[in-house]
Amino acid sequence: MPALLRILLALSLLIGSPLLRAQDAAPAGASSAPPPPQALAQLRKQLDGIKTTLSGKQVNVPLADLRSMALDVQQRADGIGDALEPQLASLQAKLTVLGPVPAQGAPAETPQMRAQRRQLDRDSNQLKAEIDQARQLSRDGLHLSTQIASLRRERFQTQLGTRTATPFSRAFWSDLRHSLPGDLARLGRLGGDAREALAAAWQPPGRWPLLLCLLGAALVLLFGHRPLGRRLLGAACRRLPDGHLRRSAMAVGTVLSVTLDVGLAALLAHLAVDWNDALGDELDELARALVTTAFFAAYVAGLGHAVLSARRSSWRLPALSDEAAQSLRALPWLLGAAALLLGALERISGYIGASLASTVFVRAVLALVISGLVGLALARLARARRHLLATGEAPVRRPLWVGVLLAALGLGVVLAWLGVVTGYLAFAFFIAWQMLWLGVIVATVYLLAYLLNDACNALLDPKQASGRRLQAAFGLSPSALAQAAAVLSGVGRVLLVLCGVAALLAPFGAGPQELLGRVGHFFGEHQYGGLVIKPGAVLRAIVVFTLGLMAIRAAKRWLIEQVLPHTALDAGVQSSAVTLLGYVTVVVVFALALSIAGVSLQNIAWIASALSVGIGFGLQAIVQNFISGLILLAEQPVKVGDWVSLSGVEGDIRRISVRATEIQLGDRSTVIVPNSQLITQNVRNVTRAGAQGRVRILLPMPLDTDAAKARECMLDALQQHPATLDTPAPMVRLDEIVAGSMNFSAVAYVHSPRDVAGVRSDLLFDILRRFADAGLPLSTPQSMVVRTLGPLGEDSPAVPQPAT
């Protein structure tokens, strides 16, 4: 509990300090935002200053900062233009209400209306001019940032190919020895400025804030990580369901806890010194850059610590052995320290204007340190793998991308050391930084991909509460939930990989703003010839289409379960109506998704024209069945539940789709019949329009039978059966007398043709029983005896033959 209180105290200091500083500064210099004309003039002046700096052709110009300034001008100009658009629309609406200027000869306007119209026209023209100026500034800023990016690439390629003296040569150390006193003097002046700022911060108005902020930074740095990690572990165990989601969530929590621990401590230290604006503008900018570097270094350390999970092997994401994880346990912290050292030295060197020799020396050392740490990690991984093979254990099989990544890192280590040895120090530093950046991007994408996959599987698991609620709400089967989890996870991982690729392709030394802009541009509009692709719009269209399908499914289920059962429609009509409504709404949702994706009706017409050619050659049957399916659903000559017979197929219709109809036969097998056959061929619908079933029984009886008594027995059986109808009334007829027997025909009607077989069987049993009780025999087939004379005139055994 005390550790938690210390963290809360530090956070309160962090959150409250800007508010207190704002309150102190508000009375002195509170000013509102400048009006749009003044703001646009300032942006134009800033853009001209950037152009002037570029035209000076200075070698040491910070091009990254200039490009950030140009992009900032572009964004601010876009913001001003977007803010003025609603005002212009409001003025246009007022002019529309006033109407057009009266024509010649028409009644003139009142003076008040004319004055109002002139004022609205002036304001509208002014706003249009300001909007056009803002848009032009935005275009100029974008064009200038593109020029700076090209200049950066050219300068960067020149630096990569520049060869300097190697550390093994006397010239390298001689240049460093001559430039070192001046660099130390400049560094001393920076230290003096920092001491003066610290002394100013120690003055009585800011002494207590300085002490409290430094105390909070120390508490967060020393005691913040472990309590926060334990709290995250407990929350993951209590709140998250059993499964891999706990592991991946804990890994992400570990990264956040380490990053916030170190980053907040650095931010509190910066607030402590700059509480009363003790730092100047340039020194404050340096301090902010160092705080950003601290956040990045902490993120590198926390990311490696979370991925390795040396203390808890059960929470480890990659398939690493305990020996390999333990051997790499200190590597994340060393890489974080190297990243902090790299960023700090780069910022300080740029601030003090360090000499070329000192800059080259620092970059050579950093290249050797980073590449050495990466090489050490690769060596320890290889040693752990060899140890497993020596003990007879089979190491875990690596995925292909892991092998490619390790090979690339090994090649980078070799190239970095070769660059230092041969004098290509800028190239070696670039390779070392790219290895560090590649590791950060890959580890981030790997961790987020695990979290996304585990979250999708946990939320859509039918055994969890969320999965059960989705099943109940949308009627989804467990297999459908599993497929949805796989699709969502796959799409999310693809997007993460694309973001990672966009970050990897960013220019060397790009800042956070440029990285975000590059990722946004990666998902922005791309034109290939006449084809315009908008990944963001395509993603939105996929989301809309998916949500639309889910809504259609829920609406169909609502109709089937709650609305249609309370209507007078039979089951077949209900099924046809729901199916037809589903097809129509799917077409509407698909058209809406195409519209969101940016596909115009003209493009759809071109696609339809192209498809018509294919239809004319190979898709005639499919289109014919599709149209026939729509006709069946609309006209309903047959519907679900009907008993039909066509082309030797007889059974019940179970489903009508847009292509084919499923008919279930008497043996429970299913026949798939194309819809066109139900339209073009003769179809016998046994149960259409509430048809009744007819039971007909044929009984032959001997000639000596009492016909009236036999008729009475059969008629009683027909009338007394509960399933036979009174109207039409049952009847018994004597059809014919043939071959010494009388043939009686008994006919009765039942409610449905489906009842005919069962009622017929019941009536036969009843009639046979009544005949037996009345002593009335049924006729039997006549037989004749055929005798064949043998060779001696003796009779052969008689062979009975049925009569014909």
pLDDT tens digit sequence for 707-742: 888 888 888 888 888 888 888 889 998 888 887 788
645: left (phi over 0), alpha (psi -120 to 50) or beta: beta
Taking residues 314-323, report their average pLDDT: 80
Alpha carbon distance 413, 596 (integer Å):
47
Q: How confident is the model at residue 787 (pLDDT cuts 50, 70, 90)?
A: low
Taking residues 601-615, report their average pLDDT: 62
In the chain the first and final C-alpha atoms are separated, in Å, by: 108
Rg (the chain; Cα; Å)? 44
Taking residues 295-306, report their average pLDDT: 90
The lowest-confidence range among 27-31, 72-76, 393-397, 534-538 is: 27-31
326: its two tokens: 């333990």
Alpha carbon distance 692, 698 (integer Å):
20
Alpha carbon distance 435, 442 (integer Å):
10
Question: Would you state the pLDDT for residue 743?
Answer: 87
Taking residues 281-304, report their average pLDDT: 87
Which residues in 640-668 are b (16+ Cβ under 10 Å) and which e?
bebbbebeeeebbbeebbbbbbbbeeeee
The lowest-confidence range among 93-107, 439-453, 499-513 is: 499-513
pTM for this model (two decimals): 0.60
Q: CB 260: neighbour CB atoms within 10 A?
A: 21
Alpha carbon distance 202, 368 (integer Å):
40
Give the DSSP H/E element, type plus range, for residue 248.
Answer: helix 244-273
Whether the bond between 728 and the residue before it is cis, its omega within 30 degrees of 0, is yes
Q: pLDDT tens, 195-214? A: 887 887 777 776 777 788 77
Give yes or no for residue 228 having a pLDDT over 70.
no
Q: Are strands 531-533 and 693-702 parallel, antiparallel or unpaired?
A: unpaired
Cβ-based burial of 738 (10 A; exposed 0-12, middle 13-18, buried ≥19): exposed
Taking residues 84-101, report their average pLDDT: 81
Give yes or no for residue 748 having a pLDDT over 70.
yes
Tell me the residue type at 345.
L
Question: Would you state the pLDDT for residue 4?
Answer: 41
- Higher pLDDT residue, 395 or 549? 549
Q: pLDDT tens, 322-376? A: 888 888 888 889 999 988 888 888 888 877 777 778 888 888 888 899 999 999 9
Give yes or no for residue 445 having a pLDDT over 80.
yes
Q: How confident is the model at residue 154 (pLDDT cuts 50, 70, 90)?
A: low
Kindly state the DSSP code that residue 797 receives in the 8-state scheme.
P
Taking residues 6-33, report their average pLDDT: 44
Q: How confident is the model at residue 791 (pLDDT cuts 50, 70, 90)?
A: low
Taking residues 247-275, report their average pLDDT: 84
Q: How far, CA to CA in Å, does 308 sit from each of 315, 328, 435?
A: 9, 8, 18
Contact 523, 494 (CB under 8 A): no
Question: Would you state the pLDDT for residue 592?
Answer: 84
Torsion sign, CA atoms 424, 427, 430, 432: negative
Q: pLDDT tens, 34-63? A: 788 888 888 888 888 888 877 765 545 566
Q: How far, CA to CA in Å, does 794 sit from each of 745, 784, 786, 789, 800?
A: 47, 20, 14, 6, 18
Question: Would you state the pLDDT for residue 800?
Answer: 52
Give yes or no for residue 422 having a pLDDT over 70.
yes
Give yes or no for residue 245 having a pLDDT over 70.
yes
Question: Would you state the pLDDT for residue 23?
Answer: 44
Question: Would you state the pLDDT for residue 21?
Answer: 45
482, 488, 494, 497 alpha-carbon torsion, rounded to 10°: -100
**Residues 756, 758, 762: CA angle, nearest 5 degrees:** 115
Contact 245, 455 (CB under 8 A): yes
Q: How far, CA to CA in Å, does 606 sit from each of 58, 503, 583, 602, 616?
A: 54, 37, 23, 6, 16
211: its two tokens: 């002490």
Q: How confident is the model at residue 7 (pLDDT cuts 50, 70, 90)?
A: very low
Give yes or no for residue 585 having a pLDDT over 80.
yes
The lowest-confidence range among 213-222, 599-608, 744-753 is: 599-608
- Higher pLDDT residue, 240 or 298? 298
Alpha carbon distance 79, 100 (integer Å):
32
Taking residues 426-449, report their average pLDDT: 88
Question: Would you state the pLDDT for residue 761?
Answer: 92
DSSP line for 656-675: E-SSEEEEE-TTS-EEEEEH
